[in-house]
Chain A
Amino acid sequence: MRLAPILNRIRAISTAASPAALDAQERRSLTLFVLIFVALIGGTVVAAYASYVNYERQFRAQVERQLTAIIELKVGELTSWRAERLADAEVLRQNSAFAELARRFLDDPRDLQAEQRLREWLDSLYRAYRYDRVYLLDGAGVERLAVPQTGELAPSHLAPDAMTALASGEVVFLDFHQKPDERTIHLALLAPLYAGQDRRQPVGVVVLSIDPEISLYPYLQRWPTSSATAETLLVRREGEQVLFLSPLRFRPDAALHLRIPLQNTDVLAVKAVLGQRGIVEGLDYRGRPVIGAVQAIPDSPWFLVARMDTAEAYGPLRQRLRETVAFFGVLVAATGAGLGMLWRRQRLHYYRRQVEAAHALRASEERFRSVVNSMNDIVYTLDREQRHTGVYGPWVARNGLTPEFFLGKSARDLFGAEAATVHEEANRRALAGEYVIYDWSASSTDGTRYFQTSLSPLHDATGAIVGIVGVGREVTERRRQEQELLAAQAELQRLLADADRSRRVLLSVIEDQRAAEGALRENNRRLLILHQVGLALAQTHDLPTIYRIAREHVLQLVDCPCFGISLYDPATRTLRAEYMISDGIVLDSQRFPPLVFAEDLPLRGRARALLAQQPEIVTDMLAGPSAEAVVVGVPGDERAPRSALYMPMVVHGQTIGLLELQSYREDAYAETDLALLAPLANQVGLAIENARLFKQLQAERNSLAQRVAERTAQLEVANRELEAFSYSVSHDLRAPLRAMEGFSSALLSRYREQLDDQGRHYLERIQNAAQRMGQLINDLLDLSRVTRRELVRQSVDLSALAQEIAAELRARDPQRQVRFVIAQPLCVEGDASLLRIALQNLLENAWKFSVHRKVACIEVGQTTPDELRASPAGVPHVVADSRAPIYFVRDNGVGFDMAYADKLFAPFQRLHGMNEFPGSGIGLAIVQRIISRHGGVIWPYAQMEHGATFYFTLGEAS
């Protein structure tokens, strides 16, 4: 079993990681963990320490700042307080008026006025500055006057001090003191008073007594922040002792009682008195450690101490220290625990891996055995001489062989020299260290069998190649399948080739179809162009636009860098160039001389196109330059057109001109182009013809419009003249009439007596004539006003109008018996005021001419052409075809002879004498004007003595 060494080797490698090696690794790992732990703790402690030191420094600075600020504040306040009190006393000392008053009072206690004024003065001092008491001592130190007032007069305990002040002439500040018989503490200011001219005569002393309980202590004891131990205290030196001047927080009775010898140099108050300044640490009067600030009050024996217990001051600091230690302790513990867990996890993981590796190894061995035994392959080992050293696998038994059969035999022994070559070659390569796979076959009784073998070099423990491991496999079946696959592939290839051939055939068919479609599309495009040109041309009557449209569309159909349109006049047989464009530049068509086609001209080129109405293609113009083929283009241009196409434009069978197309290419135009160009040319021709007609029409229309404008202007002039005339009639003609009438009237009234009857008669005739002339002028004006007035159409009820007028007439002539028959409703469209004038005139006439009838009858109504036609009145031809309603006004008066009917409507025409029926003869003229202004007609029907009827219409609108 040469496989055993391999397995052994594997086993050796896997066990290399156990006990001894393991211990070393574990130790290393443990050391690492411990190192990390120590480093972490070291770092943490350093960080904690640094953080605490930093905090402490800041905190101390803060405490010191606070103390310094407080003490400076208080020192400043105390200094100014002292200065103010001294100033009070000084003011008093220097006040000579006050001193004089005091002298008067002290000299004569009965001077009540002086006493009163002194009292007022002292009282104001007392109140203003919160003094405990203000009083006046005389020269002997006896109290003479006090505010507030107390007991009787008595020598003061301050008498010696008062004497001193009086003697020195200066204000004395008496420091904290106690009256011998009292416990209360006072300060006092003594202001000596002097009277007389030179102020040398001593008078007395004013004492300003101060109770520090009221005005000083509260102020000292105030501390700006809340604190359990902080306070400020005031001390002064007395011999070899420090005397406390203010009550203390923890010794309320200390003021002037507590004294501490100067030997106790740890005490803050002592340090202050001995001259230390600023922040100091030491003990307080209770012997507790304190921190504080000390200062001297300038110009005084006082020292100020602001202090607090160190325990309180640094309380937060200790708290911070505890917190820091706790926090970092927890941090260290947590780190240790974390590292410990990590260590445990790693150990656990490590052991698990060990166990898993052992399991895996065992499983692998099992698998190898079962794999070898269950596979069809043959596994074998060869030594360096290619002899079999082992053969495994069920294949051996299945073929009726035993492993022993192979042992010690080489391939040459098994297969013969020739067949073994392939094996020997492969074995050699494997022995050289390669991994080799090779195929081989062997003939047997049941045909050729095929095999595939893979070889791996076999190493010993030192890594030297000691042999080969081979795995052989029979692949006969697989090979057969492969060959079948190959055959199938070849068949498929052939089929694909066939399919490709078919596809190519199909493609060529499709291409043909595509070409056909292209042709169709091209045709469509051309038809579309024709359609578009039709549309474009239909939208214009402007010749240049038509030419431009024609060129643009021709350009889409064929190549024509030079394009022209020429028009033919058959009367003179002349062809004129109208539009020439060459390479996009419009040429002046005047430059091309007109071509006159003589009768005998040969039918070629333009002439043939024109006269035979056939499109003419000139394939090579250079071949035969002639008058018929005038070259279009810039003269002298070397690029001369080579071919041309002349396309006649035929309209209603007449050739009106040519489309001229020229190209630089030879033979540019084909017969196929004609099919498209011919209809295009005809469309263009039609458009040109239309444009010409349109132009003509427009010219006529313009002249017509001009004539209308001229007439209108003339009419307006006439109207203006008429208006001016009317105005002058209205104004100027009346004036002389008025003069005639007026002066004759004056003559008649003033010189009546000087005139005889005949003279008076003549004057009256003059007056009558003038009045009548005035009336005529008024009538004439009415008539012209009717003509000139603007017509405002609206709905008018003729019945209502007639009723109103009838009522007026009745009122004017109440004794007459007239029957009015007014049909209703008679609603018309017209100008209300004009229609009223017309109706008024008609009804007044009817009223007037029926005056002789016993019972006159006047009728207003409506009738129809048919009714009229049936009546004797008949219908005049002007309204014969009209469908407009016909209105009428009828009376049963005197009537008139129809022979004069045509004179009826002329102004100032009368059919009756003035004596018979008065009137100017203007009424009907006015009526006719109004009716005709409404677009209507009026006509009469009458018989002598049988009344008259006036019929009228008011235009088609109504």
Chain B
Amino acid sequence: MNNKTILLVEDNPDDEELTLLALRESNILNEIVVARDGVEALDYLFGTGKYAGRDVKRMPQVILLDLKLPKLDGLEVLRRLRSDPRTALIPVVILTSSSEEEDIIASYRSGANSYVRKPVEFHRFADAARQLGLYWLLLNETAPYSA
């Protein structure tokens, strides 16, 4: 499609594979970077740790963020993204199993752009993934990079 990157933050390998599968089945061919925990996600975005030296001018088009993560949970990752000018404007979609009201409210309050509960049924999950790709990669205009 194009060279826009998607950052998927997901610790569960099953869910990771299913998400990738769902995205591929939806014909989303963009590069998908996977971070397995919150720290790794931040490392990727800010070019630190194992991603030291990465060209941080290339930011993902959208971040798919799970809430329940080792080390640094999804909400904390989100807060740090929003408090840094380099990442404050990147669209973040919360992609999680939880449908708890508190989680939804906390996510939006911390600056999430969208909240999607992963359905148990794969075909619905694939549907959701397709819609996500369609919206965030094709329709949505991101804010120009300004660091």
Interface residues of A (CB under 8 A from B): 726-727, 730-732, 734-739, 741-743, 745-746, 767, 770-771, 773-774, 778, 781, 785
Contact = CB atoms under 8 A, between A and B. Distances in A.
B145 to A, nearest CB: 33
B98 A741 contact: no
Contacts of A742: 14, 18, 21-22, 122, 125
A707 to B, nearest CB: 32
Contact of A734 (B22, B120, B123): B120
A737 B120 contact: yes
A770 B100 contact: no
Contact of B68 (A731, A745, A767): A731
B113 to A, nearest CB: 21
Contacts of B98: 727, 730-731
Contacts of B97: 730-732, 734-735, 738
B14 A735 contact: yes
6 contacts: A730-B100, A732-B68, A738-B14, A738-B120, A739-B14, A745-B122
Given A730-B97, A734-B120, 9 more contacts: A726-B100, A730-B99, A730-B100, A735-B15, A735-B97, A741-B121, A746-B122, A771-B121, A785-B101
Interface string B120-147: 1111010000000000000000000000
A781 B103 CA distance: 14
B100 A743 contact: no
Interface in B50-71: 67-68
A778 to B, nearest CB: 8
Contacts of A732: 68, 97
A374 B100 CA distance: 142
Contacts of B119: 738, 774
A731 B100 CA distance: 9
A767 B118 CA distance: 16
B12 interface: yes
Q: How large is the interface on B (under 10, 10 to 19, 20 to 34, 35 or more residues)?
A: 20 to 34
Interface of A is mostly: helix
Contacts of A743: 14, 18
A735 B12 contact: yes
A771 B122 CA distance: 10
B96 interface: yes
Contact of A781 (B22, B96, B99, B125): B99
A738 B125 contact: yes
Q: Which of A736, A746, A773, A778 has the most CB of B within 10 A?
A: A746
B112 to A, nearest CB: 16
Contacts of B121: 741, 745, 767, 771, 774
Contacts of B123: 745
Nearest to A739: B14
A68 B98 CA distance: 115
Q: Which of B22, B96, B120 has the most CB of A within 10 A?
A: B120
A734 B100 CA distance: 13
Interface in B20-48: 21-22
Contact of A770 (B14, B68, B99, B120): B120
Contacts of B22: 742
A690 B22 CA distance: 79
Contacts of A781: 99-100
B74 to A, nearest CB: 11
Contacts of A738: 14-15, 18, 97, 118-120, 122, 125
A770 B125 CA distance: 14
A731 B18 contact: no
Contacts of B21: 742, 746
Interface in B97-119: 97-101, 118-119
A778 B12 CA distance: 21
A736 B13 CA distance: 11
Nearest to B15: A735
B133 to A, nearest CB: 17
Contacts of A727: 98, 100
B64 to A, nearest CB: 15
A731 B96 contact: yes
Nearest to B97: A734
B122 A734 contact: no
Contacts of B122: 738, 741-742, 745-746
A176 to B, nearest CB: 97
Given A731-B68, A735-B12, A746-B21, A741 B120 contact: yes
Contacts of B101: 785
A356 to B, nearest CB: 124
Contacts of B12: 735
B68 A739 contact: no
Nearest to A748: B122
B96 A739 contact: no
A635 B101 CA distance: 78
B16 to A, nearest CB: 10
A726 to B, nearest CB: 8
10 tightest CB-CB pairs across the interface, nearest first? Answer: A774-B120, A739-B14, A745-B122, A742-B122, A734-B97, A742-B18, A731-B97, A731-B98, A730-B98, A738-B120
Nearest to A770: B120
